A and B are shown apart, each in its own frame.
Chain A
Amino acid sequence: MSAKDLDNAPTVVTRAPDAPAPAPAPAPAPAAPAAKKVVDGIEVPGPTDPVTIRIRGLVKKFGPQTVLDAMDLDLYRGKINFVIGASGTGKSVLIRHVIGLLKPDAGHIFVDGEDVVPMGDYELSKLRRKFGMVFQYSALFDSMSVLDNVCFPLREHTKKPDKEIRGIAHDRLTELGIVGADHKYPSEISGGMRKRVALARALVLEPKILLYDEPTTGLDPIATQNVDEMIADTARRTGGTSVVISHDMASTFRIGDVVSMLYQGKVIVHGSPDEIRSSQDKRLREFVETSGAVTFNPERPARA
């Protein structure tokens, strides 16, 4: 192992609450009770295992720039998994690989035991029905009304009559506190509301995995807290796996179950929020302290 590898090795590799060890170096027991599927020496988690998504050795380069550098990561079933890191560390690139929008240069991504990387169009579109994704700027279709946006996945993937679809979409919006905006267009509602509509759209097909790409970026503190509560509520109600890409440490400590920090294309720290708080990793400390979410410095220099 070279010095560079040591430098990037995870400093805190701890287990998630109520989850078995993530096993970065799986020890294949020869007489395991149920024969585990093993691909390239990676133990593949099945559809009922505590690990929903297992990423191993993921490499992505854009031209000369290496964005993801042999990255390993486990994301746990039924938990709110936070992936934190500074801008440009490949968080959004990572999430786009998980849902198959980007193809990696090397590595494996197992979702419920299936490898996403070699999938073709047809398999990907089947896989994507397991997912709901909320984009950074909501990505609502601006040519459709709020209600039609939420109806869209149902119209595409179910054969229900349109009246029923509109009823479901309306209920979903009401649950998330959007009342009386059904026929407005996305440009006519606020950023926080748009995020809720985007979540309603992501939830309408009842996905098992929810991906949030920087859900609180660009929102004020109150709206941020609302969105956090919305994510936590949704996770509790659906019992699904949530993956939140964020650089908002306040949100991370408020609702995160498992936190992984991405640094230069690798996961450098992985653990519960408490472990993140007490971690001594310099790169993590710098990131957390600068955000001001842990330590409040009462001796703030007075503005001259």
Chain B
Amino acid sequence: MADAVLPTPAAGGAAPGTGAGAGAPPKPPGRLGKVLKAPWRAVDSVSGGLIKFFETVGDVLLLGVQTFVWLLRPPYRAKLFFEQMEFVGVGSLSIIFLTGTFTGAVIAVQTIFNLAKFRQEGLYLAGAALALTRELSPVLGALMVTARAGSAMATELGTMRITEQIEAMATMAVSPVQYLVTPRVAATVVMMPVLTMVFNGVGIGGAYLLGVHAFGVDPGPALENFRLFTDPADIYMGLVKSLVFGVVLSVVSCYNGFNAAGGAKGVGNATTRSVVWSAVAILVLDYVITDLMTERLA
């Protein structure tokens, strides 16, 4: 099982090449043959890339499943879990405060500017709150946590991998997945909704302060519309997203760190990949979840 997490770069990389060799006709191709074979080569390289992609997705999912299984098996590593909660949660608070406040403020500026064209400034806080709770808090929060904690996970595990610390742990009959990955994933999954709620709070607060005190919007209609248009369902949608994003960003980051290879450059690549893959996965899944959770009016 532990073996399956290890990368199989050689196997994956070799597949297209050997495939071409096996499928080729025995005669050495002439110029015409080469021209005729060019499209096949193109198909081959594309299919090879696709195979590699699905292999990687499979490996990431496998690590996710292993993480879950190890979460249920003793020994339970409460100390490591709390340490990671502190790192992911408490450590990200300041950055969530900062980004949350400014995101709320910029949404306020944009909605007031546009709503003012219809003399509907009183709706701005409701608009900002909907945007934040349903979309911006979970997505931007997850991106900030990826940048801060996900990259740190990839770097830390990657360094442990290339200095053989992960192998050393395995030889001491301690599961590296359980010791290293499970606490990080569990802590991220628990802290992401909390951070999203904080983001919601400071974001809406920032929007209120900016709109009411800087732009002079009447707070009465703003608050009344806010109460009227924002449902618990909106907050709920954001929290569901944040849970999914928490799983994705932590598993992807740990996967990349866990499978780092090739010295300092390899660790750098692992960190880059973990941030890029997490960000892409977060934005794609954001669309999917939104689509699934939004009732169609038409």
Contact = CB atoms under 8 A, between A and B. Distances in A.
Interface of A: 62-65, 96, 99, 101-103, 120-121, 124-126, 128-129, 131, 133, 135-137, 139-142, 152-153, 156-157, 201, 211
Given A135-B164, A139-B163, A125 B173 contact: yes
A139 B10 contact: no
For the residues of B in contact with A, the DSSP-based class is helix
B1 A121 contact: yes
B173 A63 contact: no
20 contacts: A63-B10, A63-B13, A64-B14, A99-B171, A101-B167, A101-B170, A101-B171, A124-B2, A124-B173, A126-B173, A128-B172, A133-B171, A135-B167, A137-B164, A139-B168, A141-B168, A141-B169, A156-B174, A157-B172, A211-B171
B11 interface: yes
Interface in B154-191: 159-160, 163-165, 167-175
B291 interface: no
Interface in B94-134: none
Given A128-B173, A153-B172, A121 B2 contact: yes
B14 A63 contact: yes
Nearest to B167: A101
Contacts of A135: 164, 167-168
B295 interface: no
Given A137-B163, A157-B172, 19 more contacts: A63-B10, A63-B14, A101-B170, A102-B3, A103-B3, A125-B173, A128-B171, A128-B172, A128-B173, A135-B164, A139-B163, A139-B164, A139-B168, A142-B159, A142-B163, A142-B165, A156-B173, A201-B172, A211-B171
A152 B174 CA distance: 10
Interface in B1-53: 1-3, 10-11, 13-14, 18
A63 to B, nearest CB: 3
Contacts of B11: 63
A186 to B, nearest CB: 10
A211 B160 CA distance: 20
Contacts of A211: 171
Contacts of B170: 101, 128
Contacts of A137: 163-164
A126 B170 CA distance: 11
A140 B171 CA distance: 13
A152 B172 contact: yes
A95 to B, nearest CB: 10
A96 B171 CA distance: 9
Contacts of A141: 160, 165, 168-169
B72 to A, nearest CB: 14
Contacts of B175: 121, 125
Nearest to B4: A103
A125 B3 CA distance: 13
A137 B11 CA distance: 28
B35 to A, nearest CB: 28
Nearest to B174: A156
A157 B164 contact: no
A205 to B, nearest CB: 8
Contacts of B174: 152-153, 156
Contacts of A156: 75, 172-174
- Residue of A133, A136, A211 most packed against chain B (CB within 10 A): A133
Nearest to B2: A121
List 6 tightest A-B contacts by C-beta distance, closest first: A63-B10, A139-B168, A139-B164, A128-B173, A125-B173, A133-B171
Nearest to B159: A142
A65 B14 CA distance: 11
A126 B172 CA distance: 10
B162 to A, nearest CB: 10
Given A62-B10, A120-B1, A121-B2, A131 B163 contact: no
A128 B171 CA distance: 6
A19 to B, nearest CB: 26
A128 B163 CA distance: 20
Nearest to B66: A121
Contacts of A139: 163-165, 167-168
A155 B175 CA distance: 14
A270 to B, nearest CB: 25
Given A125-B173, A137-B163, A65 B168 contact: no
A157 B175 CA distance: 12
A102 B119 CA distance: 69
A129 B165 contact: no
Nearest to A99: B171
A211 B173 CA distance: 15
A157 B173 contact: yes
Contacts of B163: 137, 139, 142
A135 B167 CA distance: 9
Contacts of A142: 159, 163, 165
A101 B13 CA distance: 22
A99 B2 CA distance: 13
A151 to B, nearest CB: 12
A291 B177 CA distance: 41
A200 to B, nearest CB: 13
A141 B171 CA distance: 13
Nearest to B11: A63
Contacts of B172: 128, 152-153, 156-157, 201
